Amino acid sequence: MASFSHIFAVLAWFAFLHGSEVAASNSSLVPFRIMPLGASVTFGVGSTTGDSYRKDLEDLLLANGNTVTYVGTNKNGNFTDNAVEAVSGFVISQISALANTAVPQLKPNLVLLDAGTNNCNQGGTVPDAGANVTSLINNIFQQSPGATVILTTILVNPAAAQDACRVTVNEQYTALANKIQSIGAKLILVDMRSLAGPLVTDLADGRHSNDAGYVKMANVWFSGIQEVISKGMIVKPSTNATAVVGSTGNVAKSSTTSARASQTSSTLVTTPSPVKGSGTRAVGTGGREAGLRVGMGFMVAAAGI
Ligand SMILES: *[C@@H]1O[C@H](CO)[C@@H](O)[C@H](O)[C@H]1NC(C)=O
Ligand SMILES: *[C@@H]1O[C@H](CO)[C@@H](O)[C@H](O)[C@H]1NC(C)=O
Ligand SMILES: *[C@@H]1O[C@H](CO)[C@@H](O)[C@H](O)[C@H]1NC(C)=O
Ligand SMILES: *[C@@H]1O[C@H](CO)[C@@H](O)[C@H](O)[C@H]1NC(C)=O
82-120 confidence digits (pLDDT tens): 999 999 999 999 999 999 999 999 999 999 999 999 999
> Domain locations in the chain?
4-303
Ligand in nearest proximity to the CA of 2: 3
Residue closest to 295 by CA, chosen among 13, 67, 62, 25: 13
Evaluate the CA torsion angle 194, 198, 201, 206 in order and state its sign: negative
The Å distance, Cα 78 to ligand 2 centre, comes to 6
Q: What is the mean pLDDT of residues 60-66?
A: 94
Check residue 7 and give its pLDDT.
Answer: 55
Check residue 10 and give its pLDDT.
Answer: 53
Supply angle C-alpha 102, 106, 112, rounded to 5: 75
Decide if pLDDT at 281 tops 50: no
Any residues with Cβ below 6 Å from ligand 2, and which?
Answer: 49, 78
- To the question of pTM greater than 0.85 for the whole model, the response is no
Q: What is the mean pLDDT of residues 192-220?
A: 96
The Å distance, Cα 27 to ligand 1 centre, comes to 8
Alpha carbon nearest to ligand 3 atom 5, residue: 1
Check residue 238 and give its pLDDT.
Answer: 86
Write out the DSSP string of 168-234. Answer: HHHHHHHHHHHHHHHTT-SEEEE-TTSTTS--GGGBSSSSSB-HHHHHHHHHHHHHHHHHHHHTT--
Check residue 276 and give its pLDDT.
Answer: 33
Q: What is the mean pLDDT of residues 287-297?
A: 26
User: Under a CB-based contact definition with an 8 Å cutoff, are residues 145 and 293 in contact?
Assistant: yes
Check residue 71 and give its pLDDT.
Answer: 97
Alpha carbon nearest to ligand 1 atom 3, residue: 28
Name residue 70's amino acid.
Y
Beta bridge partners of 113: 37, 151
Alpha carbon nearest to ligand 3 atom 4, residue: 1
Alpha carbon nearest to ligand 2 atom 3, residue: 78
Q: Who wins on pLDDT, 272 or 163?
A: 163
When mean pLDDT is compared across 55-59, 122-126, 223-227, 276-280, the lowest value belongs to: 276-280
Most informative mutation of 132, 166, 305 for ligand 3 (most atoms within 8 A of CB)? 132
The Å distance, Cα 18 to ligand 2 centre, comes to 42
- What's the whole-number average pLDDT of the chain? 78
The Å distance, Cα 180 to ligand 3 centre, comes to 20
Alpha carbon nearest to ligand 1 atom 6, residue: 28
Q: Who wins on pLDDT, 114 or 300?
A: 114
Decide if pLDDT at 171 tops 50: yes
Decide if pLDDT at 175 tops 70: yes
The residues near 297 (Cβ < 8 Å, ≥ 6 apart) are none
Check residue 8 and give its pLDDT.
Answer: 54
Decide if pLDDT at 201 tops 60: yes
CATH of 4-303, one of 3.40.50.300, 2.30.30.140, 3.40.50.1110, 3.30.200.20: 3.40.50.1110
Alpha carbon nearest to ligand 2 atom 13, residue: 49
Q: Is the CB of 104 under 6 A from ligand 4?
A: yes
Tens digit of each residue's pLDDT (9 = 90 or more) over 23-60 = 445 666 889 999 999 999 999 999 999 999 999 999 99
Most informative mutation of 26, 27, 32, 278 for ligand 1 (most atoms within 8 A of CB)? 26
